[in-house]
């Protein structure tokens, strides 16, 4: 298998559609594509909100508003834009207020399947890469005691995990049936600028401006923390690979770190005294996963690359970005 080292050259001048482009990870994918000279078509729910985000993240493309629950709008968009590759980052259920089952299945499963169907009728895709890069989730696996390889049989326990898994399965079926080059990247604990309020690092960033105690879980659970810019780069690298037809790839660091260690590292960098970290003051979240080391061998085999950013560096870069962004 040939590994494309300078994947960036494949995107220069290429028409790329990004769904969920105003979301946490979507904005970083759109930003990275823009920097590599791609012609980016960022699809968003709210154009006004997206413009503010795009300015802050230096995304020069004009946001395209669409209701992706409407399959006809999806078909019309793809037909009109004729993208050579689509990054599907639309998602519903990461925010704890998003709990409507019908919406979850429409956005997490049906959107990707519809995109795949439309692509099957077009001659889309990078000449040496994918036509569709779909973002999946670690929550598709559910609870598992051992190391996580892509071949583990999934048993999701949450609405988000179940609906994302159905999306993965539908895309695999569609890619196989119609010969569409598509790949599913399963993401784990992504952190960095733009992360949802209420998650660990944004909570600590906010707390750095106060002197209040910070209520946390015990922090014993281990996670594969991945920095968002690495994830965006990984998605683009996977988009340039020659594998296809719905293959699943763990996009992770392959290293486990306890939530407590992550919080203590962030607190040290943010000059938060350890006495303010009240571990055990909050119950564990119902969607907490428990698993062993995440296998990244398939990612390495396909791309020849590993996620480079260590936690301390990622937290520092997040702080630097937020300071610069607020200074503008």
Q: State percent of the chain over pLDDT 70.
A: 95
- For residue 279, the cross-strand partners are 216
- 259: which 2 tokens? 């939530």
| DSSP letter string, 201-223 | HHHHHHHTTS---EEE-----EE
What is d(CA 159, CA 105) in angstroms, rounded to the nearest whole number? 9
- For residue 320, the cross-strand partners are none
- State the pLDDT at residue 121: 86
H or E element, residue 279:
strand 277-279
State yes or no: pLDDT of 327 exceeds 70.
no
- 113: which 2 tokens? 């399947």
Residues contacting 208, CB < 8 A, separation 6+: 270, 271, 272
- The count of residues in the chain is 328
Between residues 242 and 303, the one the model is more confident about:
303
Write down all domains in the chain, each with its CATH number in brackets: 7-188+228-253+290-308 (3.40.50.720)
Supply φ then ψ for residue 190, to 5 degrees.
-90, 135
Give the long-range contacts of residues 274-281, CB within 8 A, separation 24 or more: 276/207, 276/211, 276/212, 276/213, 276/214, 277/214, 277/216, 278/213, 278/214, 278/215, 278/216, 279/216, 279/217, 279/218, 279/219, 280/216, 280/217, 280/218, 281/213, 281/215, 281/216
- State the pLDDT at residue 4: 62
Q: What is residue 121's DSSP assignment?
A: T
Angle (CA) 78-238-84 rounded to 5° is 25
Does pTM top 0.75 for this prediction?
A: yes
Of 47-61, 98-112, 113-127, 295-309, which gets the smallest average pLDDT? 113-127
What is d(CA 216, CA 112) in angstroms, rounded to the nearest whole number? 35
At residue 326 the predicted structure's pLDDT band, cuts being 50, 70 and 90, is low
Residue pLDDT, tens place only, 83-126: 999 999 999 998 878 889 999 999 999 999 999 999 998 866 66
What is d(CA 73, CA 260) in angstroms, rounded to the nearest whole number? 44
Rg (CA), the chain: 19
Nearest to 18 by CA among 34, 36, 30: 30
- State the pLDDT at residue 113: 97
Rounded to an integer, the average pLDDT of 27-55 is 97
Residues contacting 242, CB < 8 A, separation 6+: 1, 2, 128, 129
- State the pLDDT at residue 245: 87
What is d(CA 54, CA 14) in angstroms, rounded to the nearest whole number? 20
At residue 291 the predicted structure's pLDDT band, cuts being 50, 70 and 90, is confident
Residue pLDDT, tens place only, 119-153: 998 866 666 689 999 999 999 999 888 899 999 99
- State the pLDDT at residue 126: 65
Q: Report the chain's mean pLDDT, rounded to a whole number.
A: 93
């Amino acid at each position: 298998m040939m590994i494309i080292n300078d994947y960036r050259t494949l995107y220069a001048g290429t028409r790329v559609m990004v769904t969920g482009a105003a979301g946490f990870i979507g904005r970083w994918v759109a930003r990275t594509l823009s920097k590599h000279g791609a012609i980016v078509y960022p699809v968003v729910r709210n154009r006004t909100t997206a413009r503010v985000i795009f300015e802050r993240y230096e995304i020069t493309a004009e946001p395209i508003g669409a209701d992706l629950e409407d399959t006809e709008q999806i078909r019309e968009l793809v037909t009109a834009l004729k993208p050579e590759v689509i990054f599907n980052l639309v998602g519903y259920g990461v925010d704890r207020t998003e709990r409507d089952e019908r919406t979850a299945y429409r956005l997490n499963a049906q959107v990707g399947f519809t995109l795949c169907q439309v692509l099957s009728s077009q001659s889309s895709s990078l000449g040496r890469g994918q036509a569709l890069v779909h973002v999946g989730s670690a929550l598709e696996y559910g609870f598992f005691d051992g190391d996580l390889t892509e071949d583990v049989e999934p048993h999701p326990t949450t609405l988000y995990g179940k609906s994302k898994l159905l999306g993965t399965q539908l895309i695999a079926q569609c890619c196989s049936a119609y010969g569409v080059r598509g790949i599913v990247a399963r993401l784990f604990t992504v952190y960095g600028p733009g992360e949802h309020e209420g998650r660990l690092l944004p909570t600590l960033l906010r707390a750095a401006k106060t002197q209040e105690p910070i209520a946390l879980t015990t922090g014993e659970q281990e996670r594969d923390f991945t920095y968002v810019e690495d994830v965006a780069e990984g998605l683009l690298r996977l988009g340039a690979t020659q594998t296809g037809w719905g293959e699943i790839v763990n996009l992770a660091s392959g290293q486990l770190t306890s939530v407590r260690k992550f919080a203590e590292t962030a607190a040290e960098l943010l000059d938060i005294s350890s006495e303010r970290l009240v571990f055990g003051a909050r119950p564990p979240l119902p969607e907490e996963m428990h698993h062993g080391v995440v296998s990244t061998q398939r990612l390495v085999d396909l791309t020849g690359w590993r996620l480079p950013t260590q936690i301390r560096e990622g937290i520092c870069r997040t702080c630097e970005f937020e300071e610069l962004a607020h200074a503008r």
